[in-house]
Amino acid sequence: MTDINVNRGTFDEVMVPVFAPASFVPDRGRGSRVWDTEGRDYVDFAGGIAVTALGHGHPELLKVLHEQGDKLWHIGNGYTNEPVLRLAKRLTDLTFADRAFFANSGAEANEAALKLARRYAIDKFGPEKIEIISFTQSFHGRTFFTVSVGGQPKYAEGFGPQPQGIRHLPYNDLAQALDAISDKTCAVIVEPVQGEGGVLPADPAFLKGLREACDKHGALLIFDEVQTGVGRTGTLYAYMQYGVTPDILTTAKALGNGFPIGAMLTTDAIAQHFKVGVHGTTYGGNPLGASIAEKVVELISDPKLLEGVSVRGAAIRAHLERINERFGMFREVRGRGLLIGAELADAYKDRAKDVLNAAAANGVIMLIAGPNVIRFAPSLIMPMADLDEGFARIEKAIEQVAGAAAVAR
Ligand SMILES: *Cc1c(COP(=O)(O)O)cnc(C)c1O
C-alpha cells in the first residue's frame, strides 16, 4: 500500500462531481459477494451495472488475465493480434454477424454503429438519407452523438448544438414507428429491453415490425445490446429469443466482465463502408481485453450456463412476489432472464433510491432504473445460497422502508 489516506469523503474533494456514490467504499469481491473497506459484506445483485456476469474474481478469467498480462497488453491497431482475431471469430460464429469492430465501451460501440449507418446510407443512397430514429427513454451512452440519439433529453441538453437528423418516438408504439420510417430513414436504433429507461422489454411484434419497415425503406436496424447482451436475458444475445435479426448489434458491459471492451457486430456488406482510416481507436481490440472477452464469450455461450439464467431469474421473481404479498410494494415485475425490474406501487412512488439505500444498510448492492424502478442484474452464475441470503436481507430492508411509510401515514 501507499501512504496516501483516502475515504469516501475524498471523493467530494478530488473527483469531478458527476456521480453521487454510496456511502461505503467497496474493496474486494468474490463471486456474488463484495466487501467494503470496513470489512462489511454485501450480496451483489448489481453486477457492476450488468457487467460482472461471471461474478468477481472468476478463476478462469484471472488465469487469462495473468497469462495475457504476462505476454502483451497493448500494441495499437497498426498491428493485429491473435486474441482479437479469436474473439472476432467466436462472436461472428455465434451470431448473425460476419465482421466485428472493437472499442472500449458501450457508447463507443454505438458511436461506431451510428457513424457506420450514416456512412452506409450516404454512400449507397445519397446525402438526404440521414435520419436516425430512436425511442424515448432509451439509453445509448454519453458521447455527444449517443446522448443526442438517446431518448432522455436531460443528458443531451446544455452542451450547445446537437448532431442533427435524429427523431425520437414512443417505445413499443409500432403504428407511430411505421408512420415515421421512410426513404429518408438511415437507421432505427433500439434496445430489445430498455435497461436504464426502466427495464422495459420490447413487444416481439414491435421489433418484427421495425425489421420489416427497415427492409422496405433500405434503413439499417441497430440493436443496442450493450445491457441485454452476453447472456443477460437467457440467450447469448436478446435478438435470438425475439427471432428478429438486426443489421448492426452493439455489445459491451458483460463482454469483458469488468475489463473495458465493447464491440460492434455487422454483416460483410455493411462493414465494407468503413474503409481504412474512416473510423478508429487507440485501445480498441487490445490483446489483454480481447483475451478476457474471448474467455467470457466461451464460458457464457455454454447452453448449461444460459439455462441457469432462467432458473435464477425465476427465483428472483418468486422472491419478489412473496415479498410483494407482504408489503404490496410493487406495481409490476418485468424483464427477461437476469435483467429484472420491479416498478414501485403508487404508495411508494419514486422511492426506489430509499429502497436501494435501505438494502445497502442491510448488506445488499442493487440498482435502480429511474426513480420508480428497482433493478436486478446480478452475476449469471450467482450461487443460489447467495441469492436467497440476499433476499432475506432485501426483505428486512423493505420491512424498514414499509414500516417507515406506515409511520409517515
Ligand atoms: C450502459 C449502456 C450504454 C453505454 O455503455 P458505456 O460502456 O457506459 O459507454 C449504452 N447502451 C445501453 C443499452 C447501455 O445499457
3-state secondary structure of 101: strand
Q: How far is the CA of 9 from the centre of ligand 1 (A)?
A: 28
* Ligand 1 mutation target, pool 51, 102, 146, 253, most atoms within 8 A of CB: 253
* Ligand 1 mutation target, pool 227, 261, 339, most atoms within 8 A of CB: 227
Cell of residue 281, nine digits = 481507436
Q: Is 252 in the pocket of ligand 1 (CB under 6 A)?
A: yes
**Greatest CA separation for the chain:** 66
Q: Of ligand 1's atoms, which has the minimum distance to the CA of residue 138?
A: 13
Q: Are the C-beta atoms of 359 and 394 separated by less than 8 Å?
A: yes
Q: How far is the CA of 152 from the centre of ligand 1 (A)?
A: 13
DSSP label at 162?
P
Q: Of ligand 1's atoms, which has the minimum distance to the CA of residue 110?
A: 10
**What is the C-alpha separation between 311 and 304, in angstroms, rounded?**
11
In order of their start, the domains of the chain are 8-57+303-408 (3.90.1150.10), 72-300 (3.40.640.10)
- Binding site per annotation, positions for pyridoxal 5'-phosphate: 106-107, 139, 224-227, 282
**What is the C-alpha separation between 35 and 106, in angstroms, rounded?**
27
Q: How far is the CA of 227 from the centre of ligand 1 (A)?
A: 7
Q: Is 247 in the pocket of ligand 1 (CB under 6 A)?
A: no
Q: Is 107 in the pocket of ligand 1 (CB under 6 A)?
A: yes
Q: Is 141 in the pocket of ligand 1 (CB under 6 A)?
A: yes
Q: Which alpha helices (DSSP H) does 234-329 contain, by range?
A: 238-242, 268-271, 287-300, 303-327
pLDDT at 407 (0 to 100)? 67
**What is the C-alpha separation between 107 and 224, in angstroms, rounded?**
10
Q: Is 139 in the pocket of ligand 1 (CB under 6 A)?
A: yes
27: phi then psi, degrees, rounded to nearest 5: -130, -30
Output the tens digit of pLDDT for each of the chain's 409 residues: 678 999 999 999 999 999 999 999 999 999 999 999 999 999 999 999 999 999 999 999 999 999 999 999 999 999 999 999 999 999 999 999 999 999 999 999 999 999 999 999 999 999 999 999 999 999 999 999 999 999 999 999 999 999 999 999 999 999 999 999 999 999 999 999 999 999 999 999 999 999 999 999 999 999 999 999 999 999 999 999 999 999 999 999 999 999 999 999 999 999 999 999 999 999 999 999 999 999 999 999 999 999 999 999 999 999 999 999 999 999 999 999 999 999 999 999 999 999 999 999 999 999 999 999 999 999 999 999 999 999 999 999 999 999 876 666 5
Q: Is 337 in the pocket of ligand 1 (CB under 6 A)?
A: no
**What is the C-alpha separation between 57 and 306, in angstroms, rounded?**
20
Cell of residue 299, nine digits = 464460458
Q: Is 120 in the pocket of ligand 1 (CB under 6 A)?
A: no
209: phi then psi, degrees, rounded to nearest 5: -65, -40
Q: Are the C-beta atoms of 193 and 201 separated by less than 8 Å?
A: yes
Angstrom CA distances, 84 to 30, 59, 74, stand at: 27, 21, 11
CA 131 distance to own-chain centroid: 25
Residues acting as catalytic residues: 139, 224, 253
- What are 200's strand-pairing partners? 194
**What is the C-alpha separation between 251 and 232, in angstroms, rounded?**
11
- Binding site per annotation, positions: 106-107, 139, 142, 224-227, 281-282
Cell of residue 84, nine digits = 482479437
CA 65 distance to own-chain centroid: 23
Q: How far is the CA of 226 from the centre of ligand 1 (A)?
A: 5
pLDDT at 286 (0 to 100)? 98
pLDDT at 162 (0 to 100)? 97
Q: Is 200 in the pocket of ligand 1 (CB under 6 A)?
A: no
Q: How far is the CA of 1 from the centre of ligand 1 (A)?
A: 33
Find the helix packing angle between 287-300 and 59-71, rounded to 10°: 160
Q: Of ligand 1's atoms, which has the minimum distance to the CA of residue 196?
A: 15
The full length of the chain comes to 409
Q: Is 118 exposed, middle or buried (0-12, 13-18, 19+ CB in 10 A)?
A: buried
Q: How far is the CA of 12 from the centre of ligand 1 (A)?
A: 25
Q: Are the C-beta atoms of 292 and 261 separated by less than 8 Å?
A: yes
Cell of residue 267, nine digits = 454483416
Q: Are the C-beta atoms of 41 and 27 separated by less than 8 Å?
A: no
Find the helix packing angle between 352-361 and 384-408, rounded to 10°: 120
